[in-house]
Amino acid sequence: MSSFILSSISMKTPAIFIFASKYQNIDSMKKINKVLVILGTPGVGKTTFAKKLSKKTRARLIEANKVIEEYKLYSGFDKFGTKIVKMKELERMLNKIAKDGNVIIEGHILADIKIKGAIAIVLREHLQKIYKRLKARGYPDEKILENIESEALDYSGINAEKNYGEVYEFFSSDKKLMENVINIMKGKKVKKENIELLEELIPFITRSSR
């Protein structure tokens, strides 16, 4: 995984207030007063699912990448052109936005920060599917392999367990995904899955070593 540089600069409260207030008046017919984070390796389908879930539940949707971009919460770029995120500032911003609940926050970076009281949904996907999706996005081969290794080792899930009190993992292609996540948001019991993808990594390692 790419390393994130943690830096600490003071954020102006008005900016946080303005951003958070933009999402306060969205109508919600059946408000579910939860904070849900949708995370996982790039290419698993987080954004697509989060948008569908937001529409279904009328919960506010916050995309972490858009927050990072809008408030310039990064200090530079790594060798792949990926933003080096100011993690502490992002964490403070997202906690401010999420404090009133009824919000879904989406982004792979959420595995490395803590959102108070949030339930974490880690989306998983088979490595070959991730490979094809990232290849189509124009990712360099080295970056694709890095992300595939992270998925195989369940980087997002392992770190989510450290940062969130309640964590669930599902395949993004699971036909019951929407139903299961909505039930979790409603406080209902949902069986946790044990997803192992390590064996799928072997062909990629063999290919890269040639």
Q: What is the CATH classification number for the domain harbouring 140?
A: 3.40.50.300
Residue 173 resides in a domain: yes
Residue 102 resides in a domain: yes
Residue 204 resides in a domain: yes
DSSP summary character for residue 8: -
Residue 8 resides in a domain: no
Cα-only R_g, the chain:
17
Residues 117-144: what's their mean pLDDT? 97
Amino acid, res. 65:
N
Number of domains in the chain: 1
pLDDT of residue 127: 98
Residue 190 resides in a domain: yes
Q: Which domain holds residue 101?
A: 13-19+31-208
Instruction: With 0.85 as the threshold, say if the pTM is over it.
Output: no
Residue 24 resides in a domain: no
Q: Which helix (H) or strand (E) holds 90?
A: helix 87-98
Identify which has the larger pLDDT, 138 or 210. Answer: 138
